[in-house]
Amino acid sequence: MRLADLTTPALLVDAGALEANLADMAAAHPGPQLRPHVKAHKTTALAARQTAHGHHGFTCATVREVEGMAAAGLGADLLLANEVLDARRLGAVVAAGARVTLAIDSPETLRAAVDGGVREVLIDVNIGLPRCGIAPEHAGALADTARAAGLSVRGVMGYEGHLQLLTDAAERARLTTECTDRLLAAHADVGGDVISGGGTGTHAHNTACTEIQAGSYALMDTAYTAAGLPFRQALTVLSTVVSTTAPAGDAPGWAVADAGLKAFGMDHGNPSVPGAAVWFCSDEHLTFAADVPPRAGDRVRVVPAHIDPTVALHERMHVVDGAGPDAEVLDTWAVDLRGW
Amino acid sequence: MRLADLTTPALLVDAGALEANLADMAAAHPGPQLRPHVKAHKTTALAARQTAHGHHGFTCATVREVEGMAAAGLGADLLLANEVLDARRLGAVVAAGARVTLAIDSPETLRAAVDGGVREVLIDVNIGLPRCGIAPEHAGALADTARAAGLSVRGVMGYEGHLQLLTDAAERARLTTECTDRLLAAHADVGGDVISGGGTGTHAHNTACTEIQAGSYALMDTAYTAAGLPFRQALTVLSTVVSTTAPAGDAPGWAVADAGLKAFGMDHGNPSVPGAAVWFCSDEHLTFAADVPPRAGDRVRVVPAHIDPTVALHERMHVVDGAGPDAEVLDTWAVDLRGW
């Protein structure tokens, strides 16, 4: 199949950029030092590529992601880096032979782990982002309670999510250390071999963690590129220009492509069209003004502002080599970890 | 099944609110005067409820929506109110017996209709929103060309999308008339029985169109409620509180629910939690501060800011009667018109 044969909108993965990103991160954090986060791509076929680069433990954000990874034979060491109040589906994954470690941050989530049949946990520690995680000074007590309840406490996790997109790298580094100091303090009380955290934005600064939970590095987006991360933009949304309006008097012209709010995560703002100003997105439309006005039927590759919620809107991604209409589609991967 | 048995996050449809919305709109625009837009709910089971209220023509935004509606036996009169450059899949739907009318606004989209086997079109007219549509003064010539190419031109469509959320109803009414005057001028040149347009926000003001393309009225969202529309909030996202942090000194406390960027369309901003301030959304989290702090395991119903892209993120919606954990799930509808 050629690029021109694809129905639009369509997720495209640039094979070369993806492999370069995977190789670069594997060089920085080889093997178990990286626990790739699958929430960024929700695609077991892509996770298999990360395995080929030496990473066999993965981070998940949902129970469905854990189930899907285990079903795909990628369940050697799955961390659900999130709290759940019902862990029975996770217990079933454990019973079927996969290794699942669950984050807990409260007596309620501890109880859910026990009741659901999960045997291994990490203590999730709040290291600065107002989200999940127990206060560092209470982490040790929760670990004690967990062990008393029969759980194996592998260590701690903490996510400095609020720092990932800081554009000042020095400031990002300084604040990352502040956060990981809190995590190390909690770890001193909790024990265990695992100190898990970090992300694409802080991976180079986070030297305290034994494993980095980066996900976005594989496919990238405009927000991480704006933050100065060195990875390549591997994912775009192929779209077709369906309408054009020529300039009239003082009014500028514009074009409309067939990818909109249902093709892009919008929390980081509009996606980008190289060589064009994006005006706005509608449900199935992107209105933009290009330096070189396109014609109806032309195809444009649109760059998402935020990769994770963008991928979650698509059923599949096409792996391509090259950009022209005759470029070959090398493979098509199901985005098979969507939903809950 | 009870509400408490649902995996979260989950789309909930309040059966009473939905039926009231459908009845109120059917009273205002009975039968063929309303062509419900399925892009707002992407659910053939909900479209069947609209049929039960007397509407047998539907508006679609994607080829997939047209295919799915026809496959569900709801293909009596489907309008794809959007431009496409490849109409072959639509032609196949026509050949299988459904009635499909396609919007065109250029020689290229006219040619696609002919080549794809579509036989009926509307001339899409730009009446003020910078998106698709031909300038009103050129609509007649495009209609002539279409008829010369063998197409049946049923009339015109034009969408005053930029007015839908204006909060000043008088201003919304005045500007709607400005827009529909342009549409009527184009219609005078084009001919045909159909003048299609309008939406939930302008349905009460748009007296020029023979049919209104409203969609959001069925399920609603905070944006349309803020614009003063009289329909009830029928859709919420059920979520579970997975983590809580108590106030500490001067720092306020917060809670985290398990519905985030992958459960809500975010282009209109954060969703709302009644009785709480929403701080921010992460991929699978909603951080909020509630007047009455919840406990881990509590469930909250979150109200989307924009219904269309919210629904597109979910596989199914559950029809419920009541709000408590023992409330019965009356039905579960597949969101079966997603994708492209």
Asked if the model's pLDDT at residue B322 lies above 90, the reply is: no
End-to-end Cα separation, chain B, in angstroms = 32
> Can you tell me whether residue A227 is helix, strand or coil?
coil
Residue type, B117: G
Closest Cα partner for B94 from B116, B109, B65, B125? Answer: B116
Q: Which two tokens stand for residue A246?
A: 């020529």
Give the closest of A7, A282, A285 to B340, CB-based.
Answer: A7
Q: Which two tokens stand for residue A195?
A: 């100190």
Contacts of A132 (CB under 8 A, 6+ apart): A82, A83, A103, A105, A124, A126, B242, B243, B256, B285
Pairwise CA distance, residues B30 & B24, whole Å: 10
Q: Which two tokens stand for residue B258?
A: 């398990």
* Chain mean position to CA A100: 19
pLDDT digits (tens, 9 = 90+) for B137-190: 999 999 999 999 999 999 999 999 999 999 999 999 999 999 999 999 999 999
Pairwise CA distance, residues B68 & B61, whole Å: 12
Q: Is the pTM for the entire model greater than 0.90?
A: yes
Q: How far A63 CA lies from chain B's nearest CA (Å)?
A: 10
pLDDT digits (tens, 9 = 90+) for B48-73: 999 999 999 999 999 999 999 999 99
Pairwise CA distance, residues B72 & A316, whole Å: 24
Judge: B132–A8 Cβ closer than 8 Å, yes or no: no
Contact between B18 and B49 (Cβ < 8 Å): yes
Give the closest of A62, A242, A313 to B284, CB-based.
Answer: A62
Contacts of B249 (CB under 8 A, 6+ apart): none
pLDDT digits (tens, 9 = 90+) for A160-170: 999 999 999 99
Q: Which two tokens stand for residue B266?
A: 């975010």
pLDDT digits (tens, 9 = 90+) for A286-313: 999 999 999 999 999 999 999 999 999 9
Whole-number pLDDT of residue A101: 98
Query: What is the DSSP pairing of strand A235-245 with strand A57-60?
Result: unpaired
Pairwise CA distance, residues B77 & B292, whole Å: 50
Judge: B256–A9 Cβ closer than 8 Å, yes or no: no
Residues 257-316 of B with CB under 8 A from A: 258, 261-262, 265-267, 279, 281-285, 287, 295-297, 306, 308-309, 312-315
Whole-number pLDDT of residue A126: 98
Q: What is the mean pLDDT of residues A7-27?
A: 98
Check residue B64 and report its DSSP letter.
H
Render the burial of A95-116: b for 16+ CB within 10 Å, e for the rest: eeebebbbbbbbebbbbbbbeb
Render the burial of B133-147: b for 16+ CB within 10 Å, e for the rest: bbbbebbbebbeebe
CA distances for A312 relative to B179, B292, B325, angstroms: 36, 33, 29
Whole-number pLDDT of residue B324: 80
pLDDT digits (tens, 9 = 90+) for B102-115: 999 999 999 999 99
Contact between A235 and A304 (Cβ < 8 Å): yes
Give the closest of A135, A283, A309 to B39, CB-based.
Answer: A283
Task: Give the full edge-to-edge strand order of the sheet including A194-197.
Answer: A57-60, A77-80, A100-104, A120-124, A152-158, A194-197, A211-212
A254 contacts on B by Cβ (under 8 Å): 130
* H or E segment and range at residue A108: helix A107-116
What is the dihedral sign for C-alpha A256, A257, A258, A262? negative
Closest Cα partner for A122 from A89, A98, A146? Answer: A146
Q: Is this complex's ipTM strictly greater than 0.90?
A: yes
Contact between B262 and B309 (Cβ < 8 Å): no
A132 contacts on B by Cβ (under 8 Å): 242-243, 256, 285
Question: In chain B, what percentage of residues exceed pLDDT 70?
Answer: 100
Query: What is the DSSP pairing of strand A211-212 with strand A194-197?
Result: parallel
Asked if the model's pLDDT at residue B323 lies above 80, the reply is: no
Contact between B259 and B237 (Cβ < 8 Å): yes
Cis peptide before A9 (omega within 30 of 0): yes
Q: How many CB atoms lie within 10 A of CB B220?
A: 24
Give the closest of A62, A131, A308 to B256, CB-based.
Answer: A131
Residue type, A261: L
Contact between B13 and B337 (Cβ < 8 Å): no
Contact between B77 and B56 (Cβ < 8 Å): yes
Whole-number pLDDT of residue A27: 98
Judge: B266–A266 Cβ closer than 8 Å, yes or no: yes
* H or E segment and range at residue B165: none
Contacts of B67 (CB under 8 A, 6+ apart): B89, B93
Q: What is the mean pLDDT of residues B219-243?
A: 96
Q: Which domains does chain B have, with CATH numbers?
A: 3-10+231-334 (2.40.37.20), 16-218 (3.20.20.10)
Q: Is A135 at the interface with chain B, CB within 8 A?
A: yes
Q: How confident is the model at residue A322 (pLDDT cuts 50, 70, 90)?
A: confident
Whole-number pLDDT of residue A324: 80
pLDDT digits (tens, 9 = 90+) for A173-200: 999 999 999 999 999 999 999 999 999 9
Q: How many CB atoms lie within 10 A of CB A71?
A: 15
Judge: A248–B296 Cβ closer than 8 Å, yes or no: no
Check residue A255 and report its DSSP letter.
E
Q: Which two tokens stand for residue B193?
A: 């029985």
Pairwise CA distance, residues B244 & B258, whole Å: 12
